[in-house]
């Protein structure tokens, strides 16, 4: 896996997993965002994340897009 995209309440979190993922993301975002992206601290709108995922897959990257996770409350 090169990039993990995880749905959050306010968008989709980008987490680069491999060097290839980091390098690819660096070609799509301005340099002032690279540190935050490499540390998994960036959330973008889900529609943008879907387009980003498609572009990355077309470039040969392995993307893990987790659409949503819910935790079941224990009774």
Q: How far apart are alpha carbons 56 and 50 in whole angstroms?
A: 10
pLDDT of residue 31: 94
Full-model pTM: 0.84
Helices (H), ranges, 1-75: 19-26, 34-38, 46-58
Unique residue bearing structure tokens 């993990």: 4
Per-residue pLDDT tens for 20-65? 999 999 999 999 999 999 999 999 999 999 999 999 999 999 999 8
Which residue ranges make up each domain of the chain? 3-66
5: which residues sit within 8 A by CB, 6+ positions away?
12, 13, 14, 15, 49, 52, 53, 63, 64, 65, 66
Q: Please say if the pLDDT value at position 68 is more than 80.
A: no
Q: How is the chain split among helix, strand and coil, in percent rounded to 5?
A: 40, 25, 35
């Amino acid at each position: 896996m090169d990039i993990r995209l995880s749905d959050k309440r306010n968008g989709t979190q980008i987490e680069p997993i491999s060097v290839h993922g980091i390098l690819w993301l660096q070609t799509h975002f301005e340099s002032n965002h690279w540190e935050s992206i490499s540390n998994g601290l960036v959330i973008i709108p889900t529609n943008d994340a879907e387009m980003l995922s498609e572009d990355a897959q077309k470039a040969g990257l392995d993307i893990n897009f987790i659409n949503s996770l819910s935790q079941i409350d224990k009774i």
